[in-house]
Amino acid sequence: LARGVTAPDLAGRHVVVSAGGTREPLDPVRFLGNRSSGKQGYALARTAAARGARVTLVAANTALPDPAGVDVVRVGTALQLREAVLKAAADADAVVMAAAVADFRPATYATGKIKKQDDRDPDPIVLVRNPDVLAELSAERVRPGQVVVGFAAETDDVLAHGRAKLRRKGCDLLVVNEVGESRTFGAEDNEAVVLGADGSETPVPHGPKEALADVVWDLVAARLT
Ligand code: CTP
Ligand code: CA
């Protein structure tokens, strides 16, 4: 196919993409968050729509325009993201978890703003674990044959960490990025290796996030039944 012409190979399919980064509130004005911009998730949503899919985009704290023809569900926290993803996943052919989901949240939420005190040190922030949405989707397979895809940003022995994570999570595909200075977060480009539960390894050279998204959908489409 010529460039710019996309085969509607996802027509009749429903796909769910999570994007952005969750924020875990401490009080009405503060949260624990992360640097995910949501650009990779939005690129996945756009390319899936261009390939004919019905797309639900669960967007956590993104500052990006809604992609045309995509159902956008806005969420804040990891617990809200879990609820929205599981709801949309009930009839989905594929779920791609591109969002950066907080592993922990503050154990308590102060309904009034936390004030500093001149006569004493601040209280420590106690954290509790958030549910692992990707692991849950992978274990439960709410719809038979559903393809589940995770993302991982790693440092050091990136592929070894990626393979271990793929096994631990139980997903079908894991997109592994190497993080470093100015790479990945907020950038327009990405470089990755997509690991498959079947042992496959698909390197994606440095390029636009849309190009990586298209490789992900190629690999998903090949696994749809
Ligand atoms: N993820 C999730 N729910 C969480 C944490 C992560 O669904 N509570 C998903 C992310 O959306 C991503 C994948 O799991 O697709 C990998 O996230 P990552 O943070 O790399 O994995 P963790 O198991 O949390 O490992 P780490 O200790 O390296 O953070
Ligand atoms: Ca994590």
Verify whether ligand 1 is closer than 6 Å to residue 103 (CB atom): yes
What digits encode the pLDDT tens for the residues 136-187? 999 999 899 999 999 999 999 999 999 999 999 999 999 999 887 555 567 7
| pTM of this structure | 0.95
Instruction: Say if CB 174 and CB 195 are below 8 A apart.
Output: yes
Closest ligand 1 atom to Cα of 78: 8
Closest residue by Cα to atom 8, ligand 1, is 132
Instruction: Say if CB 79 and CB 1 are below 8 A apart.
Output: no
What digits encode the pLDDT tens for the residues 33-76? 999 999 999 999 999 999 999 999 999 999 999 999 999 999 99
Main-chain phi, psi angles of 39, to 5 degrees: -60, -40
165 is in an annotated binding site: yes
Q: How far apart are CA 18 and CA 16, in angstroms?
A: 7
Verify whether ligand 1 is closer than 6 Å to residue 134 (CB atom): yes
Q: How far apart are CA 55 and CA 66, in angstroms?
A: 12
1 is in an annotated binding site: no
Verify whether ligand 1 is closer than 6 Å to residue 97 (CB atom): yes
Number of C-beta neighbours around residue 103 at 10 A:
13
Interface predicted TM-score (ipTM)? 0.99
